[in-house]
């Protein structure tokens, strides 16, 4: 069976999906990046390949997205390297053709995407503050000694959310501590935090954007039932959660790869094959280029002895020194 691989390497999680020609999800793998994207890519891919060998699946195209999209493109060989906005929008618009607003909250960034007739019309990403994102929730959960997967369930038990300042994560935290010392029930505090984060998101990321129904909420944080409820309550409209909300970026990347392969005349994927990624030992190193006063930190990616890619140089001297064939863009 022919299928397409989508990879989304984020700051917190690394997601891998395989979809077939009809956009059906064959398998998804969701693992934590844990600061080591190279290892995450290897692990995630090997988890997927078990299936490939068993069912005789061939990969016809590869799409990568997320902040690690260039790295994963080099390691796997990608046909499409796309930013997260496009990937998420494509995946959501396929599932909900009339979607007008996409709320996406990931590990360290949050975005709002406004669509018109199925294509992106406007978007915004959080700028300087990570207050409303997954990392902050993680941190608060561990401070309250609650498992993050339990966080949402506890929140929805609340009948009366307490009010927590949502402008800034630091203030939100001290407000929470205050409320907890006053003796408010934990569930109400957690729900209050969820509502504060939603207000924070709408004020910072959604600033000046007109949010219209249907709304789709995706990204890892969409797992949190408390936030789902808070969004529905504050927006005053139903919020749709896709079945595979946690890997929507990867699904979008796979769909884009399929789109590209089906449009192109030759069907040669850039995919380097299982062996390339699983057998090789990958090393990254960096050095300061002394070529000019910018003193860029140039990163070099090697597989065994072969240099795969350079990046980090502003002038592109190093990047261009390798053949252009490494870049699928």
Partner 1 sequence: MKITFPHMGNMHIAVKALLERLRLEVVPPPPISKRTFEIGIRHSPEFACMPLKINLGNFIEALENGADTIVMAGGWGPCRFGYYAQVERDILESLGYQFKMIILEAPDSRAYDLVKQIKSLGENVSFWEALKAINYGWSKLGALEALEKQLDYYLPRARDKARIEKIYNIAVENIDRAVSKAEVYEIEEQSVKEMSKAEMKIDLPLKIGIVGEIYTMFEPAVNYDIYRLLGRMDVEVIRSAYLSDWLNDHILKGYIKKSIRPDIIACARPYLNYEVGGHGLETVGNTVRFAHMHLDGIVQIGPLTCMPEIVAQSIIPQISAQEGVPCMTLWLDELAGTAGLITRLEAFVDMVHRQKLKAGNYQKEA
Tokens of 220: 């890892």
Instruction: Decide if 81 contacts 311 (C-beta within 8 A).
Output: no
In the bound state with partner 1, the residue whose beta carbon lies nearer, of 4 and 45, is: 4
Stretch that binds partner 1, among 22-30, 114-122, 215-223, 242-250 (CB under 8 A): 114-122
120 binds partner 1 (CB under 8 A): yes
Stretch that binds partner 1, among 132-140, 141-149, 155-163, 288-296 (CB under 8 A): 288-296
Least distance to partner 1 from the beta carbon of 240, Å? 22
Helix (H) or strand (E) run with residue 215 in it = strand 215-218
The Cα–Cα gap between 113 and 52 comes to 34
Tokens of 306: 């072969």
Contacts by 260-263, CB closer than 8 A, 24 or more apart? 260/61, 260/63, 260/79, 260/80, 261/4, 261/60, 261/61, 261/79
Which string of b and e fits 243-262 if b means at least 16 CB within 10 Å? Answer: ebbbbbbbbbbbbbbbbbbe
Stretch that binds partner 1, among 1-9, 50-58, 123-131, 138-146 (CB under 8 A): 123-131
82 binds partner 1 (CB under 8 A): yes
Instruction: Decide if 91 contacts 255 (C-beta within 8 A).
Output: yes
Least distance to partner 1 from the beta carbon of 123, Å? 6
Contacting partner 1 (CB under 8 A), which of 121, 160, 279, 286?
A: 121
The Cα–Cα gap between 133 and 109 comes to 6
Least distance to partner 1 from the beta carbon of 9, Å? 12
138 binds partner 1 (CB under 8 A): no
In the bound state with partner 1, the residue whose beta carbon lies nearer, of 19 and 89, is: 89
Contacting partner 1 (CB under 8 A), which of 23, 178, 233, 260?
A: 260
Q: For residue 236, is it left (φ>0), alpha (ψ between -120 and 50) or beta? A: left
The Cα–Cα gap between 230 and 160 comes to 12
Contacting partner 1 (CB under 8 A), which of 2, 160, 264, 268?
A: 264
Scanning residues 140 to 169, which ones bind partner 1 (CB under 8 A)?
A: none
Scanning residues 54 to 73, which ones bind partner 1 (CB under 8 A)?
A: 67
Site size toward partner 1 (CB under 8 A) is 27
Please name the residue ranges forming H helices in the chain.
37-55, 69-76, 84-95, 134-143, 148-156, 169-181, 186-204, 225-235, 248-263, 274-279, 317-321
Least distance to partner 1 from the beta carbon of 250, Å? 16
Tokens of 115: 């669509």
Stretch that binds partner 1, among 23-31, 143-151, 168-176, 287-295 (CB under 8 A): 287-295
287 binds partner 1 (CB under 8 A): no
Scanning residues 170 to 229, which ones bind partner 1 (CB under 8 A)?
A: 208
85 binds partner 1 (CB under 8 A): yes
Least distance to partner 1 from the beta carbon of 153, Å? 33
In the bound state with partner 1, the residue whose beta carbon lies nearer, of 233 and 260, is: 260
Which string of b and e fits 263-289 if b means at least 16 CB within 10 Å? Answer: eeeeeebbbbebeebeebebeeeeeeb
Contacting positions for partner 1 (CB under 8 A): 67, 82-86, 117-123, 125, 127, 208, 259-260, 263-264, 292-295, 314, 316, 320
């Amino acid at each position: 069976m022919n299928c397409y691989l989508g990879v989304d390497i984020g700051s917190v999680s690394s997601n891998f999906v395989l979809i077939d020609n009809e956009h059906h999800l064959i398998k998804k793998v969701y693992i934590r990046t844990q600061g080591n994207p190279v290892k995450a890519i290897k692990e995630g891919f090997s988890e997927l390949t078990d299936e490939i060998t068993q069912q005789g699946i061939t990969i016809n195209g590869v799409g990568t997205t997320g902040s690690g999209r260039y790295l994963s493109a080099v390691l796997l060989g990608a046909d499409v390297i796309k930013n997260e906005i496009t990937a998420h929008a494509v995946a959501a618009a396929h599932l909900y053709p009339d979607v007008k607003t996409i709320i996406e909250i990931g590990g360290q960034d949050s975005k709002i995407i406004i669509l018109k007739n199925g294509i992106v019309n406007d978007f915004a990403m959080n700028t300087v503050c990570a207050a409303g994102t997954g990392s902050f929730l993680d941190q608060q959960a561990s401070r309250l000694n609650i498992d993050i997967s339990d966080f949402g369930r506890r929140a929805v038990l609340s009948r009366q959310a307490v009010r927590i300042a949502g402008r800034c994560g630091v203030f939100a935290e001290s407000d929470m501590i205050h409320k907890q010392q006053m003796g408010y029930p934990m569930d109400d505090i957690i729900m209050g935090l969820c509502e504060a984060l939603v207000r924070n998101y709408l004020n910072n990321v959604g600033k000046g954007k007109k949010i219209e129904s249907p709304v789709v909420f995706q990204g890892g944080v969409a797992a949190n039932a408390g936030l789902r409820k808070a969004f529905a309550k504050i927006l005053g409209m139903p919020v749709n959660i896709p079945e595979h909300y946690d890997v929507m970026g990867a699904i979008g990347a796979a769909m884009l790869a399929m789109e590209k392969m089906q449009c192109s005349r030759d069907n040669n994927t850039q995919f380097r094959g299982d062996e390339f990624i699983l057998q090789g030992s990958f090393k990254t190193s960096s050095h300061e280029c002394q070529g000019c006063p910018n003193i860029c930190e140039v990163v070099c990616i090697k597989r065994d002895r072969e240099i795969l890619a350079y990046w980090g140089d502003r002038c592109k001297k190093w990047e261009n020194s390798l053949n252009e064939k490494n870049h699928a863009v």
